[in-house]
Amino acid sequence: MKIPFLELRTQREQLRPAINAAIESVLDADWYVLGEQGRLFEEEMARFLESGGASQTHVVGVGSGTEALHLSLVALGIGPGDEVITTPLTAAATAMAIRAAGATPVFADVDSHLTLDPNAVRARVTDRTRALLPVHLYGHPADLGPLIALCRDHGLSLIEDCAQSHGTLWNNRPVGTIGDVAAFSFYPSKNLGAYGDAGAIACSDGELAERLRKLRNYGEAQRYHHVIEGFNSRLDELQAAILRAKLPHLSAWNTRRRAVAAAYQEQICHPAVSLPTEKPGMFHTYHLFVVRTPHRDALRRHLEARGVGTQIHYPVPLHRQKAFAFLDQPAGACPVAERAADEVLSLPVYPEINDAQIAYVAQCVNAFDAEAA
Ligand SMILES: *Cc1c(COP(=O)(O)O)cnc(C)c1O
Protein backbone atom coordinates (compact mmCIF):
# COMPACT_ATOMS: atom_id res chain seq x y z
CA MET A 1 0.00 0.00 0.00
CA LYS A 2 1.13 3.55 -0.69
CA ILE A 3 -0.36 6.28 1.47
CA PRO A 4 0.84 9.78 0.70
CA PHE A 5 1.09 12.25 3.55
CA LEU A 6 -1.35 14.50 1.70
CA GLU A 7 -3.52 13.82 -1.32
CA LEU A 8 -5.58 16.58 -2.98
CA ARG A 9 -6.66 14.81 -6.16
CA THR A 10 -9.56 12.76 -4.77
CA GLN A 11 -11.29 15.80 -3.33
CA ARG A 12 -10.81 17.76 -6.54
CA GLU A 13 -12.26 14.87 -8.55
CA GLN A 14 -15.28 14.76 -6.22
CA LEU A 15 -15.85 18.48 -6.72
CA ARG A 16 -14.83 18.63 -10.37
CA PRO A 17 -18.12 19.98 -11.80
CA ALA A 18 -18.47 22.66 -9.09
CA ILE A 19 -14.81 23.72 -9.27
CA ASN A 20 -14.78 23.88 -13.05
CA ALA A 21 -18.02 25.87 -13.08
CA ALA A 22 -16.57 28.28 -10.50
CA ILE A 23 -13.43 28.85 -12.56
CA GLU A 24 -15.41 29.26 -15.75
CA SER A 25 -17.74 31.82 -14.17
CA VAL A 26 -14.75 34.00 -13.27
CA LEU A 27 -13.25 33.70 -16.73
CA ASP A 28 -16.63 34.50 -18.30
CA ALA A 29 -16.97 37.59 -16.13
CA ASP A 30 -13.46 38.73 -17.11
CA TRP A 31 -13.01 40.31 -13.69
CA TYR A 32 -10.10 38.95 -11.71
CA VAL A 33 -9.35 41.05 -8.65
CA LEU A 34 -11.73 42.54 -6.05
CA GLY A 35 -15.08 41.58 -7.50
CA GLU A 36 -18.27 39.67 -6.84
CA GLN A 37 -16.66 36.33 -5.93
CA GLY A 38 -14.38 37.83 -3.32
CA ARG A 39 -17.23 39.82 -1.80
CA LEU A 40 -19.51 36.77 -1.65
CA PHE A 41 -16.78 34.58 -0.19
CA GLU A 42 -16.15 37.15 2.54
CA GLU A 43 -19.87 37.12 3.40
CA GLU A 44 -20.12 33.34 3.34
CA MET A 45 -16.99 32.90 5.47
CA ALA A 46 -18.37 35.42 7.97
CA ARG A 47 -21.67 33.48 8.10
CA PHE A 48 -19.70 30.25 8.59
CA LEU A 49 -17.96 31.73 11.63
CA GLU A 50 -21.18 33.24 12.97
CA SER A 51 -23.05 29.96 12.52
CA GLY A 52 -20.55 28.50 14.97
CA GLY A 53 -21.95 30.88 17.56
CA ALA A 54 -19.97 34.09 17.05
CA SER A 55 -21.42 37.57 17.10
CA GLN A 56 -21.20 39.74 13.97
CA THR A 57 -18.00 39.02 12.11
CA HIS A 58 -16.34 40.84 9.22
CA VAL A 59 -14.10 38.92 6.84
CA VAL A 60 -11.54 40.57 4.57
CA GLY A 61 -9.94 38.45 1.86
CA VAL A 62 -6.20 38.88 1.35
CA GLY A 63 -3.39 37.25 -0.60
CA SER A 64 -2.18 34.68 1.95
CA GLY A 65 -2.20 33.69 5.60
CA THR A 66 1.12 35.46 6.11
CA GLU A 67 -0.34 38.66 4.68
CA ALA A 68 -3.44 38.23 6.85
CA LEU A 69 -1.17 38.34 9.92
CA HIS A 70 0.98 41.16 8.54
CA LEU A 71 -1.96 43.41 7.65
CA SER A 72 -3.65 42.66 10.98
CA LEU A 73 -0.58 43.87 12.85
CA VAL A 74 -0.31 47.01 10.71
CA ALA A 75 -4.04 47.72 11.12
CA LEU A 76 -3.63 47.55 14.90
CA GLY A 77 -0.79 50.08 14.67
CA ILE A 78 1.90 47.59 15.66
CA GLY A 79 5.31 48.26 14.15
CA PRO A 80 8.96 49.13 14.86
CA GLY A 81 9.86 49.13 18.55
CA ASP A 82 6.88 46.92 19.45
CA GLU A 83 7.10 43.36 20.70
CA VAL A 84 4.68 40.58 19.83
CA ILE A 85 4.77 37.39 21.89
CA THR A 86 4.24 34.20 19.94
CA THR A 87 5.13 30.51 19.90
CA PRO A 88 8.34 29.12 18.42
CA LEU A 89 6.55 25.90 17.40
CA THR A 90 4.70 27.13 14.32
CA ALA A 91 5.13 27.83 10.62
CA ALA A 92 7.88 30.40 10.10
CA ALA A 93 5.20 32.61 8.50
CA THR A 94 3.83 33.51 11.94
CA ALA A 95 7.06 35.26 12.95
CA MET A 96 7.91 36.47 9.43
CA ALA A 97 4.64 38.43 9.46
CA ILE A 98 5.63 40.12 12.73
CA ARG A 99 8.94 41.11 11.10
CA ALA A 100 7.13 42.33 7.98
CA ALA A 101 5.22 44.75 10.19
CA GLY A 102 8.57 45.94 11.59
CA ALA A 103 7.87 44.58 15.08
CA THR A 104 9.95 42.10 17.08
CA PRO A 105 8.79 38.54 17.70
CA VAL A 106 9.36 37.33 21.26
CA PHE A 107 9.12 33.57 21.58
CA ALA A 108 7.52 32.07 24.67
CA ASP A 109 7.44 28.34 25.33
CA VAL A 110 4.49 26.04 24.69
CA ASP A 111 2.56 23.85 27.13
CA SER A 112 1.93 20.12 27.00
CA HIS A 113 -0.61 20.68 24.20
CA LEU A 114 2.14 22.43 22.23
CA THR A 115 0.30 25.76 22.10
CA LEU A 116 1.47 28.99 23.75
CA ASP A 117 1.92 28.52 27.51
CA PRO A 118 0.26 31.47 29.32
CA ASN A 119 2.78 31.24 32.18
CA ALA A 120 5.71 31.48 29.78
CA VAL A 121 3.96 34.39 28.07
CA ARG A 122 3.49 36.25 31.36
CA ALA A 123 7.24 36.04 32.01
CA ARG A 124 7.97 37.65 28.61
CA VAL A 125 5.65 40.65 28.86
CA THR A 126 7.58 43.96 28.88
CA ASP A 127 6.54 47.58 28.48
CA ARG A 128 7.18 47.18 24.74
CA THR A 129 4.75 44.24 24.37
CA ARG A 130 1.78 45.20 22.20
CA ALA A 131 0.14 41.92 21.26
CA LEU A 132 -0.09 38.18 21.88
CA LEU A 133 -0.16 35.96 18.81
CA PRO A 134 -1.22 32.40 19.73
CA VAL A 135 -1.45 29.71 17.05
CA HIS A 136 -4.22 27.10 17.20
CA LEU A 137 -1.62 24.52 16.29
CA TYR A 138 -2.59 21.38 14.37
CA GLY A 139 -6.28 22.36 14.70
CA HIS A 140 -6.44 22.40 18.53
CA PRO A 141 -7.28 25.74 20.16
CA ALA A 142 -4.63 27.55 22.18
CA ASP A 143 -5.28 28.10 25.90
CA LEU A 144 -7.13 31.37 25.27
CA GLY A 145 -8.69 31.97 28.72
CA PRO A 146 -5.49 33.03 30.52
CA LEU A 147 -4.20 34.75 27.36
CA ILE A 148 -7.36 36.92 27.22
CA ALA A 149 -6.81 37.80 30.90
CA LEU A 150 -3.19 38.78 30.20
CA CYS A 151 -4.31 40.99 27.31
CA ARG A 152 -6.86 42.70 29.53
CA ASP A 153 -4.37 43.21 32.39
CA HIS A 154 -1.62 44.63 30.17
CA GLY A 155 -3.65 46.39 27.46
CA LEU A 156 -2.50 44.03 24.70
CA SER A 157 -4.15 43.00 21.45
CA LEU A 158 -4.96 39.35 20.84
CA ILE A 159 -4.26 38.14 17.31
CA GLU A 160 -5.26 34.56 16.52
CA ASP A 161 -3.32 32.57 13.93
CA CYS A 162 -6.11 30.37 12.55
CA ALA A 163 -4.17 29.01 9.56
CA GLN A 164 -4.61 25.46 10.90
CA SER A 165 -7.98 25.79 12.61
CA HIS A 166 -10.88 26.54 10.24
CA GLY A 167 -13.92 25.47 12.26
CA THR A 168 -12.08 24.73 15.51
CA LEU A 169 -14.09 25.56 18.64
CA TRP A 170 -12.80 26.93 21.92
CA ASN A 171 -15.45 26.48 24.65
CA ASN A 172 -18.12 26.19 21.95
CA ARG A 173 -16.98 29.39 20.24
CA PRO A 174 -15.28 29.36 16.84
CA VAL A 175 -11.63 30.36 16.95
CA GLY A 176 -11.03 33.41 14.83
CA THR A 177 -13.88 35.25 16.57
CA ILE A 178 -12.40 35.47 20.07
CA GLY A 179 -9.38 37.77 19.76
CA ASP A 180 -9.29 41.30 18.33
CA VAL A 181 -8.43 39.94 14.90
CA ALA A 182 -7.68 36.56 13.32
CA ALA A 183 -5.73 35.37 10.31
CA PHE A 184 -6.77 32.44 8.13
CA SER A 185 -4.71 30.80 5.41
CA PHE A 186 -6.20 28.92 2.46
CA TYR A 187 -2.91 27.46 1.30
CA PRO A 188 -3.87 24.28 -0.64
CA SER A 189 -3.05 21.86 2.20
CA LYS A 190 -5.15 23.62 4.88
CA ASN A 191 -8.54 22.30 6.04
CA LEU A 192 -10.07 24.81 3.62
CA GLY A 193 -7.62 25.10 0.75
CA ALA A 194 -7.55 27.18 -2.41
CA TYR A 195 -5.65 26.17 -5.56
CA GLY A 196 -2.96 28.73 -4.98
CA ASP A 197 -2.21 31.30 -2.29
CA ALA A 198 -5.12 32.88 -0.44
CA GLY A 199 -5.96 34.17 3.02
CA ALA A 200 -8.50 36.12 5.05
CA ILE A 201 -8.79 38.23 8.17
CA ALA A 202 -11.74 38.03 10.56
CA CYS A 203 -12.66 40.68 13.11
CA SER A 204 -15.78 42.01 14.84
CA ASP A 205 -14.73 45.69 14.66
CA GLY A 206 -16.20 47.25 11.52
CA GLU A 207 -13.72 50.14 11.51
CA LEU A 208 -10.79 47.75 11.73
CA ALA A 209 -12.27 45.80 8.80
CA GLU A 210 -12.49 49.02 6.77
CA ARG A 211 -8.84 49.84 7.53
CA LEU A 212 -7.87 46.33 6.43
CA ARG A 213 -9.78 46.78 3.15
CA LYS A 214 -7.71 49.88 2.45
CA LEU A 215 -4.43 48.29 3.54
CA ARG A 216 -4.84 45.34 1.17
CA ASN A 217 -5.41 47.69 -1.78
CA TYR A 218 -2.69 50.39 -1.76
CA GLY A 219 -4.45 52.38 0.96
CA GLU A 220 -7.24 53.35 -1.41
CA ALA A 221 -10.48 54.82 -0.11
CA GLN A 222 -11.76 55.32 -3.65
CA ARG A 223 -10.05 54.66 -6.94
CA TYR A 224 -6.74 56.59 -7.08
CA HIS A 225 -7.39 58.27 -3.74
CA HIS A 226 -4.91 56.88 -1.21
CA VAL A 227 -5.63 57.84 2.37
CA ILE A 228 -3.09 55.58 4.07
CA GLU A 229 0.04 53.74 2.97
CA GLY A 230 -1.01 50.29 1.91
CA PHE A 231 -0.01 47.09 0.20
CA ASN A 232 -1.11 44.83 -2.60
CA SER A 233 -2.58 41.77 -0.92
CA ARG A 234 -5.90 40.67 -2.36
CA LEU A 235 -7.79 37.41 -2.54
CA ASP A 236 -8.22 37.03 -6.30
CA GLU A 237 -11.50 36.10 -7.93
CA LEU A 238 -10.43 32.64 -9.12
CA GLN A 239 -9.36 31.61 -5.63
CA ALA A 240 -12.48 33.18 -4.09
CA ALA A 241 -14.75 31.27 -6.49
CA ILE A 242 -12.92 28.00 -5.72
CA LEU A 243 -13.19 28.66 -1.98
CA ARG A 244 -16.92 29.37 -2.38
CA ALA A 245 -17.34 25.97 -4.01
CA LYS A 246 -15.46 24.29 -1.16
CA LEU A 247 -16.71 26.17 1.92
CA PRO A 248 -20.09 24.34 2.10
CA HIS A 249 -18.14 21.08 2.59
CA LEU A 250 -15.81 22.32 5.33
CA SER A 251 -17.92 21.14 8.28
CA ALA A 252 -18.33 17.64 6.83
CA TRP A 253 -14.61 17.48 6.07
CA ASN A 254 -13.78 18.49 9.64
CA THR A 255 -16.17 15.83 10.94
CA ARG A 256 -14.41 13.25 8.80
CA ARG A 257 -10.98 14.43 10.02
CA ARG A 258 -12.20 13.88 13.59
CA ALA A 259 -13.39 10.39 12.64
CA VAL A 260 -9.99 9.63 11.12
CA ALA A 261 -8.33 10.86 14.32
CA ALA A 262 -10.72 8.76 16.44
CA ALA A 263 -9.86 5.68 14.36
CA TYR A 264 -6.14 6.30 14.86
CA GLN A 265 -6.76 6.76 18.60
CA GLU A 266 -8.57 3.45 18.70
CA GLN A 267 -6.17 1.47 16.56
CA ILE A 268 -2.71 2.83 17.37
CA CYS A 269 -1.32 1.23 20.46
CA HIS A 270 2.42 1.44 20.99
CA PRO A 271 4.24 1.94 24.29
CA ALA A 272 6.76 4.36 22.75
CA VAL A 273 4.27 6.45 20.76
CA SER A 274 1.96 9.00 22.41
CA LEU A 275 -1.14 10.28 20.66
CA PRO A 276 -2.66 13.76 20.50
CA THR A 277 -5.55 14.58 22.84
CA GLU A 278 -8.43 17.02 22.87
CA LYS A 279 -8.97 19.11 25.98
CA PRO A 280 -12.52 18.99 27.45
CA GLY A 281 -14.83 21.57 25.86
CA MET A 282 -12.61 21.95 22.80
CA PHE A 283 -13.35 20.92 19.21
CA HIS A 284 -10.14 19.82 17.47
CA THR A 285 -10.28 19.91 13.67
CA TYR A 286 -7.15 17.79 13.15
CA HIS A 287 -5.44 19.79 10.47
CA LEU A 288 -2.61 17.50 11.50
CA PHE A 289 -2.54 14.28 13.52
CA VAL A 290 0.73 14.58 15.41
CA VAL A 291 2.14 11.72 17.46
CA ARG A 292 5.24 11.92 19.66
CA THR A 293 8.03 9.48 20.22
CA PRO A 294 11.66 9.75 21.31
CA HIS A 295 12.40 7.46 18.32
CA ARG A 296 10.86 9.88 15.81
CA ASP A 297 13.40 9.62 13.00
CA ALA A 298 13.43 5.81 13.18
CA LEU A 299 9.62 5.65 13.17
CA ARG A 300 9.57 7.97 10.18
CA ARG A 301 11.99 5.72 8.25
CA HIS A 302 9.99 2.64 9.29
CA LEU A 303 6.78 4.14 7.92
CA GLU A 304 8.41 5.45 4.78
CA ALA A 305 9.77 1.96 4.01
CA ARG A 306 6.15 0.71 4.20
CA GLY A 307 4.78 3.38 1.88
CA VAL A 308 3.36 5.70 4.56
CA GLY A 309 4.18 9.37 4.05
CA THR A 310 4.79 11.55 7.13
CA GLN A 311 5.96 15.09 7.87
CA ILE A 312 7.47 16.93 10.81
CA HIS A 313 5.69 20.04 12.13
CA TYR A 314 8.12 21.52 13.04
CA PRO A 315 11.70 20.21 13.13
CA VAL A 316 13.38 23.52 14.11
CA PRO A 317 11.68 25.88 16.56
CA LEU A 318 11.74 29.44 15.28
CA HIS A 319 14.11 30.81 17.93
CA ARG A 320 16.66 28.25 16.66
CA GLN A 321 16.29 29.30 13.01
CA LYS A 322 19.17 31.11 11.33
CA ALA A 323 16.77 33.77 10.04
CA PHE A 324 15.98 34.76 13.64
CA ALA A 325 19.48 34.37 15.08
CA PHE A 326 19.65 38.16 15.50
CA LEU A 327 16.95 37.91 18.18
CA ASP A 328 19.55 36.21 20.33
CA GLN A 329 17.22 33.76 22.04
CA PRO A 330 19.52 31.04 23.32
CA ALA A 331 19.12 27.29 22.97
CA GLY A 332 17.16 26.10 25.98
CA ALA A 333 15.00 29.25 26.01
CA CYS A 334 11.91 27.20 25.12
CA PRO A 335 12.66 23.68 26.37
CA VAL A 336 9.18 22.20 25.81
CA ALA A 337 9.10 23.35 22.19
CA GLU A 338 12.69 22.22 21.62
CA ARG A 339 11.96 18.74 22.91
CA ALA A 340 8.74 18.53 20.88
CA ALA A 341 10.64 19.48 17.73
CA ASP A 342 12.73 16.32 18.19
CA GLU A 343 9.74 14.06 18.87
CA VAL A 344 6.73 15.10 16.76
CA LEU A 345 5.63 13.20 13.68
CA SER A 346 2.56 14.00 11.58
CA LEU A 347 0.62 11.03 10.17
CA PRO A 348 -1.59 11.26 7.08
CA VAL A 349 -4.96 12.87 7.87
CA TYR A 350 -7.34 14.19 5.24
CA PRO A 351 -11.06 13.66 4.72
CA GLU A 352 -10.53 11.35 1.74
CA ILE A 353 -8.23 8.82 3.44
CA ASN A 354 -10.21 5.57 3.65
CA ASP A 355 -10.70 3.14 6.51
CA ALA A 356 -8.40 0.49 5.03
CA GLN A 357 -5.63 3.07 4.68
CA ILE A 358 -6.13 4.25 8.26
CA ALA A 359 -5.96 0.63 9.48
CA TYR A 360 -2.78 0.09 7.48
CA VAL A 361 -1.10 3.19 8.91
CA ALA A 362 -2.06 2.14 12.44
CA GLN A 363 -0.82 -1.41 11.83
CA CYS A 364 2.52 -0.07 10.55
CA VAL A 365 2.94 2.16 13.61
CA ASN A 366 2.08 -0.74 15.92
CA ALA A 367 4.66 -2.95 14.21
CA PHE A 368 7.46 -0.42 14.86
CA ASP A 369 10.27 -1.99 16.86
CA ALA A 370 11.64 0.89 18.92
CA GLU A 371 14.33 -1.30 20.50
CA ALA A 372 15.75 -2.37 17.16
CA ALA A 373 15.64 1.20 15.82
C1 LIG B 1 0.15 27.99 6.67
C2 LIG B 1 0.42 28.81 7.88
C3 LIG B 1 0.68 30.19 7.81
C4 LIG B 1 0.94 30.90 6.52
O5 LIG B 1 -0.08 30.89 5.62
P6 LIG B 1 0.25 31.16 4.06
O7 LIG B 1 -1.09 31.23 3.44
O8 LIG B 1 1.08 30.01 3.58
O9 LIG B 1 0.99 32.45 3.98
C10 LIG B 1 0.78 30.90 8.99
N11 LIG B 1 0.68 30.30 10.18
C12 LIG B 1 0.47 28.97 10.30
C13 LIG B 1 0.34 28.37 11.65
C14 LIG B 1 0.35 28.18 9.15
O15 LIG B 1 0.14 26.86 9.28
CA 71 – ligand 1 centroid, Å: 14
User: Given ligand 1 and candidates 187, 195, 236, 312, which is best to mutate, with the most ligand atoms within 8 Å of its CB?
Assistant: 187
Question: Which atom of ligand 1 approaches the CA of 189 most closely?
Answer: 1
CA 191 – ligand 1 centroid, Å: 12
Residue of 174, 141, 170, 164 lying closest to 49 (CA atoms): 174
As a whole number of angstroms, the distance between CA 293 and CA 298 comes to: 10
Residue nearest to atom 7 of ligand 1 (CA): 65
Peptide bond into 314 cis (omega under 30): yes
CA 184 – ligand 1 centroid, Å: 8
In this prediction, residues 125-154 reach a mean pLDDT of 98
Q: What is the dihedral of CA 219, 38, 188, 217, to 10 degrees?
A: -10
332: confidence class by pLDDT, cuts 50, 70, 90: confident
Q: Is the dihedral of CA 161, 162, 168, 169 positive or negative?
A: positive
As a whole number of angstroms, the distance between CA 18 and CA 82 comes to: 45
Residue nearest to atom 5 of ligand 1 (CA): 65
Q: Does 163 sit in the ligand 1 pocket, CB within 6 Å?
A: yes
User: pLDDT digit string (tens) for 52-109?
Assistant: 776 799 999 999 999 999 999 999 999 999 999 999 999 999 999 999 999 999 999 9
* Helices and strands in the chain, H and E counts: 13, 14
CA 90 – ligand 1 centroid, Å: 9
Q: Does 199 sit in the ligand 1 pocket, CB within 6 Å?
A: yes
CA 190 – ligand 1 centroid, Å: 9
pLDDT (0 to 100) of residue 317: 97
pLDDT (0 to 100) of residue 46: 97
CA 163 – ligand 1 centroid, Å: 5
